[in-house]
Chains A and B, each alone.
Chain A
Amino acid sequence: MSATPDAFASVPSEHTELSLLENAWRHRPGILGWLSVTTHQAIGMRYIVTAFIMLLLGGAEALLMRTQLARPNNTFLGPDRYNEIFTTHGTTMMFLFAVPVMEGMAIYLIPLMLGTRNVAFPRLNAFGYWLYLGGCLFLYWGVFTNTAPDVGWFAYPPLSGPQFTPGKRADFWAQMITFTEVSGLCVAAEIIVTIFKMRAPRMSLNRMPLYVWSMLVQSFMVIFAMPAVVIASSYLLSDRTISTHFVNPAEGGDPLAYQHIFWFFGHPEVYIIFIPALGFVSSIVVANARRAIFGYPAMVLSLIANGFIAFGLWVHHMFATGLPQIGEAYFTASSMMIAITSGIQIFCWLATLWTGRVRRNTALHFAYGFIAIFVLGGLTGVMLASVPLDLQVHDTYFVIAHFHYVLIGGALFPLFGAFYHWFPKMTGRLMSEKLGKINFWFLFIGFNLTFFPMHILGLKGMPRRVYTYPVEMGWGPMSFLATVGAWIIAIGGIIFIVNVLSSRRSAHFAAANPWDAPSLEWAADSPPANYNFEHLPTVASRHPLWDPPEERAVVTGLRNDRREVLVTTLMDAEPHHRYVLPGSSIWPFIAAVCVSIGFAGSVFNPWYVIWGSIISGLALIGWFWPRRPFHMEP
């Protein structure tokens, strides 16, 4: 029996109750109102749109690079410009697109999937977004004033140190990281607390959707990994601005310490990008195979194991530095072992699809594309785990091929699938399936044409990060092919944008649950009201919308004249207490501006650390200053 499209039938409600709810959750008008928004749907969309713009910028940078490399000894870009562009491409994609877009999707989807009205800390959510935006503006301020970083997205010292990269370029890089990492940590904290404490009643941990599990694992990874990059970027920034000697060998600093601490973050970082995508794939596969996922416990344990093991791999980025052999053997073993957790998930998805009633919509096309591309990338990863092989292909185009296969295949394809899957929920309209499939094929073919030849280029000796290469090396034909592929990807991107823009105005309105999917977000309207659900749902299984309607209970007794949600217990989600959320507030924006002034200024003058702390402290006092009424009505 399929679920009714409008999910939970409403308890006969008074007209006044609904209008109270709408009033409590409405946004304030005007520019000040726009700056004061604290609802998760709006903030999630802001993250997604901003990150998408960053994707376009990073993509433009990639096209510039590929154009330069299409022919040997090309003069389209000189070495300085090329080095700035490849650094900005990597930095933008990793820090300003990939992680934030996953965060934005989570901020949008998680409260809906959990059956609540907002994240646990709405003002922190807003603050995190403004700080992320500040980071984007900060880096691109540098880019457009000829101060783009040019030392690679991981900025190894001593090249990135004060002696070899004078000026402000590397400082912009290092401090942009501070912006985005603080923002990311804010999001991680609120996702964890929302998932732990604000789930629908009776949504015990083993009834959570796999996407929720993936965001829980990812958020914990962020908590433990991002402090490491804060340390790395601070080492670099303080060596450059206040003459410390952490990683600058001139006075006993250790460049290898930088590599260790950077990659202690850097390896989990790629899983931080990739693990939410695994959650997307599970959602898309379940909805379009029209059956429960095969092996839910195995999937959950694989996600958790993936999260843990990812912290034990980092030295495989440093095999060429001459480490003790026993260390190398351990990191080979762990780097290969993580293939097991990914493999289990692939097997479970294939088992689900094998026994499902497959609906071949665009979202599922992207899920299949993900499997094909990611598995290939994962297999080259197993090759790279082997030290002797790595010592040949490390720092060559082979590695570039590998990580684009796992990042684009493993994260971007699921992300596009997620866009097609949840667009109806977010906008109330369906995207064009016809354009969607054309979109998919352009991206799939373009991607493989661009990056598959790079495996060969790497084996044939082409190093990374070279702005040009001689004719006699024979790298020309493959490079040209890769450039053609890059332009095909660009066309695919344009098709996507056209599809989004035209679908937003189309007449193809979407019902609440066009895919007949089982999770709670499909019970809300399309698009959801600011309060998500008129009555918060409860659940009795892993697939609430596949349960018969008469078995679904709703929560009553929450006040609708203020932003009130329900806090439940950690394991079994039994209701514990009611929780009043703040409404719109301008303080997150003010605080973010103060913090941004501190961060941005300290690149030019270390005293800004003090001034910035003072004004940020004042902003935080304003944020938390007690306001009437002090006593909460029951």
Chain B
Amino acid sequence: MTRLHLVWTILCLAILSSCAGHQQSAIDPAGPQSGKIAALWWGFFWLLAVIFAIVMAVMLITLMRRPPSAIENRPPEQAESGLKRTVTAATVITVLLLFVLLIVSVKTGKATADLGKQSSLLTIEVTGNQWWWQFRYMNSDASRILTTANEIHIPVGQPVLIQGRSNDVIHSFWVPNLQGKRDLIPSRVTTEYLQVDNPGVYRGQCSEFCGLQHAHMAFYVIAEPKDKFNAWMQAQLQPAPAPTDPVLEHGRRVFLNYQCIYCHQIRGTTAAGQNGPDLTHFASRRSLAAGVLPNTIGNLGGWIVNPQRIKPGTHMATIAVAPNDLQPLLQYLESLK
């Protein structure tokens, strides 16, 4: 059994060392919901770990015990009644502990599920697509509905309502640092509440298998103080900045003349495609291709020239951009802050 103990010790050290804060981690909470869930997790973990240790101890003792007398195939009566009491007690304790765990779970579930009972809640409609995220900030005033993709900003300290939809297959919206996941199911609307307390950048990832590039369908949630959020919102609602020099002007022309407009929208231009991510403020986003690569001009070039190499199976068309059109196009897109 010493080999077993050694392996066990190594594993425990491994667990403890890897629990340090990390992005996309359910045990590094940044909001009240994930905080409650993480607390529930640790409660479950320690209680069940103790139970496991006790059961293992009993199991190991059975290997070391010698029964008091020569046991026939029918053991004496008094041993049986003692065992009966122990097994009954263990069963009763199991039932009680499970009951406690049930109550705690249901209470935590209620607390994390119903955050925003107030009206005029910031509402973001999330639509899953193969393999990118469309986000729309809802507003009763149609001119203030913001459509963006793959990255959202939310204000710290207030609940946000997520309305989940899907345009194709089932996806799942999950930001572990903030809240549990919610499936996005075509022909239905699912909802959940989200709240962040600590400003920061949080990564989320699709967690329902959705096809070839399920592994490359991530998004970012940037939580910031309310005033910064409002400023961001204002900037995003503006149409795309007009080109300020001939190179950018060339780039915009390239964009409008190639097939890009069949899928992409840039408000403030005639491009109004709805099949792909909105690019109006593309350069303000940290990543491209749904969290696959950092949003740099080099990566963007590689993506446009050969998207299949970066994300095989992606629905983004491979567009043969003429060599002297590519640089201006990239510069134009990276100017859309």
Interchain CB contact under 8 A, A386 and B56:
no
Give the contacts of A425-469 with B (CB-CB under 8 A). Answer: 441, 445, 448-449, 452-453, 456, 459-461, 463-469
1/0 contact string of A74-103 vs chain B (CB within 8 Å): 000011100100000000000000000000
CB A336 to nearest CB in B, in angstroms, measures 5
Query: B36 within 8 Å of A by Cβ?
Result: yes
Do A340 and B98 form a contact, CB below 8 Å, given A294-B87, A396-B207, A464-B207?
A: yes
Bound together, the chains give a CA A256 to CA B18 distance in angstroms of 37
* Chain B residues within an 8 Å CB radius of A325: 109-110, 113
Do A159 and B210 form a contact, CB below 8 Å, given A332-B105, A392-B37?
A: yes
Interchain CB contact under 8 A, B90 and A347:
yes
Interchain CB contact under 8 A, A322 and B191:
yes
Query: B142 within 8 Å of A by Cβ?
Result: no
Interchain CB contact under 8 A, A344 and B106:
no
Do A351 and B313 form a contact, CB below 8 Å, given A321-B183, A459-B26, A460-B24?
A: no
Give the nearest-CB partner of B208 in chain A: A395
* Chain B residues within an 8 Å CB radius of A249: 186-187
Interchain CB contact under 8 A, A294 and B170:
no
Interchain CB contact under 8 A, B180 and A392:
yes
Do A465 and B209 form a contact, CB below 8 Å, given A320-B172, A383-B44, A460-B24?
A: yes
CB B58 to nearest CB in A, in angstroms, measures 5
* Chain A residues within an 8 Å CB radius of B221: none
Give the contacts of A340-375 with B (CB-CB under 8 A). Answer: 340, 343-344, 346-348, 350-351, 353-358, 360, 368, 371-372, 375
Interchain CB contact under 8 A, A394 and B90:
no
Query: A484 within 8 Å of B by Cβ?
Result: no
* Chain B residues within an 8 Å CB radius of A453: 14
Give the nearest-CB partner of B51 in chain A: A379
Query: A388 within 8 Å of B by Cβ?
Result: yes
* Chain B residues within an 8 Å CB radius of A159: 169-170, 209-211
Query: A292 within 8 Å of B by Cβ?
Result: yes
Give the contacts of B160-190 with A (CB-CB under 8 A). Answer: 164, 168-170, 172, 174, 176, 179-183, 185-188, 190
| Chain B interface size, under 10 / 10 to 19 / 20 to 34 / 35 or more | 35 or more
Bound together, the chains give a CA A340 to CA B93 distance in angstroms of 10
* Chain A residues within an 8 Å CB radius of B40: 386, 388-389
Most-contacted residue by chain A among B11, B52, B58, B208 (CB, 10 A): B208
Query: B124 within 8 Å of A by Cβ?
Result: no
Bound together, the chains give a CA A297 to CA B130 distance in angstroms of 54
Give the nearest-CB partner of A79 in chain B: B212
* Chain B residues within an 8 Å CB radius of A481: 14
* Chain A residues within an 8 Å CB radius of B318: none
Bound together, the chains give a CA A79 to CA B211 distance in angstroms of 9
Interchain CB contact under 8 A, A355 and B67:
yes
Query: A164 within 8 Å of B by Cβ?
Result: yes
Give the nearest-CB partner of B170 in chain A: A156
Query: A403 within 8 Å of B by Cβ?
Result: no
Bound together, the chains give a CA A156 to CA B209 distance in angstroms of 9
Query: A555 within 8 Å of B by Cβ?
Result: no
* Chain A residues within an 8 Å CB radius of B73: 290-292, 518, 543, 546
Query: B71 within 8 Å of A by Cβ?
Result: yes
Query: A328 within 8 Å of B by Cβ?
Result: yes
Query: B25 within 8 Å of A by Cβ?
Result: yes
Interchain CB contact under 8 A, B26 and A322:
no
Bound together, the chains give a CA A291 to CA B65 distance in angstroms of 15
Binds A, one of B74-82, B143-151, B233-241, B296-304: B74-82
Most-contacted residue by chain A among B7, B164, B182, B183 (CB, 10 A): B183
* Chain A residues within an 8 Å CB radius of B106: 329, 332, 387
Do A387 and B105 form a contact, CB below 8 Å, given A158-B186, A343-B94, A395-B207?
A: yes
Query: A337 within 8 Å of B by Cβ?
Result: yes
Bound together, the chains give a CA A321 to CA B172 distance in angstroms of 9
| Nearest 10 A/B pairs, CB to CB | A391-B180, A461-B24, A466-B215, A386-B105, A322-B190, A353-B62, A249-B187, A159-B169, A392-B26, A463-B207
Given A336-B98, A465-B209, 17 additional A-B pairs, CB 8 A = A159-B209, A159-B211, A164-B211, A294-B83, A321-B185, A322-B191, A325-B113, A356-B67, A375-B55, A389-B37, A391-B37, A391-B182, A392-B181, A449-B7, A464-B207, A464-B209, A466-B214
Measured CB to CB, the residues of B under 8 A from A are 3, 7, 11, 14-15, 18, 22-27, 34, 36-37, 40-41, 44-45, 48, 51-52, 55-56, 58-59, 61-63, 65, 67, 71-75, 79-80, 83-84, 86-87, 90-91, 94-95, 98, 101-102, 104-106, 108-110, 112-113, 130, 164, 168-170, 172, 174, 176, 179-183, 185-188, 190-192, 203, 205-215, 312-313
Give 28 CB contacts A-B under 8 Å: A164-B211, A249-B186, A255-B170, A255-B185, A292-B75, A321-B190, A325-B110, A325-B113, A328-B109, A340-B94, A354-B61, A354-B83, A356-B71, A379-B52, A386-B101, A388-B37, A389-B40, A393-B26, A396-B207, A445-B3, A460-B24, A461-B22, A461-B26, A461-B205, A463-B174, A463-B214, A467-B215, A468-B215
